[in-house]
Structure 1
Amino acid sequence: MSDAYQPLSCDLYDYLEIACMHHYRLRIELVDGGELQATAVNTHTAPSKEEFFIVRDNSGEQQLRLDHLLAITPLDAYASFGRVLLGNQHC
């Protein structure tokens, strides 16, 4: 994967916003094969125009660059969506 930031398409970005709005607990799959479970907190755009997904787990908050995300799956039974594939879905 190139280190140059690749923005996420708007329709996929909406799922991250919904997850943050409802503070969904998520299973987050990363493009490098990593995985974590965390609560969606917010999104953030850096001055460099890179976008980040802010999540919280037992170790605190962390920022995940959006183009490093492969998929998110809500772990809450009441979630309004299921697994969403984000990786390789850029404009």
Structure 2
Amino acid sequence: MNDSYQPIACDLYDYLEIACLHHYHLRIELTDGSELQAEAVTTEINASKEEFFVVRSATGEQRLRMDRLLAITPLDTGASFGRVLLGNARC
């Protein structure tokens, strides 16, 4: 697996920002096949220009590297979007 960071498509980044703005509870699918449910908190960029999606679950806060996100699905009633496929879509 290539471990160098690959940014997600810019238009898809907006869905992560919307999820954070509304603190949506999400089902998050990762590229390694795992899933988790968590609340969207914020996005971050580190000194190496890697982007992270910060979420909070019962086990605490986690920083998920954005290029390891496959899809997000809001679990909140009335969310402004449905399942969004993020994996393999790059800027």
TM range (shorter): over 0.9
| TM superposition shift of 1:3 | 0.2
Whether the 8 Å CA contact 2:10–2:90 is kept in 1: the answer is: no
The count of aligned residue pairs is: 91
- What does residue range 1-91 of structure 1 map to in structure 2 within 5 Å? 1-91=1-91
Give CA-to-partner distance per residue, 1:11-34, whole Å, 9 cap, x none. 000000000000000000000000
Q: Aligned partners of 1:56, 1:68: CA distance in 2, in Å?
A: 17
Structure 2: which amino acid aligns with 1:60?
G
Q: CA RMSD in A?
A: 0.6
TM-score, normalising length: structure 2: 0.98
Q: Aligned partners of 2:51, 2:2: CA distance in 1, in Å?
A: 15
Return 5+ residue gaps in structure 2 as ranges. none
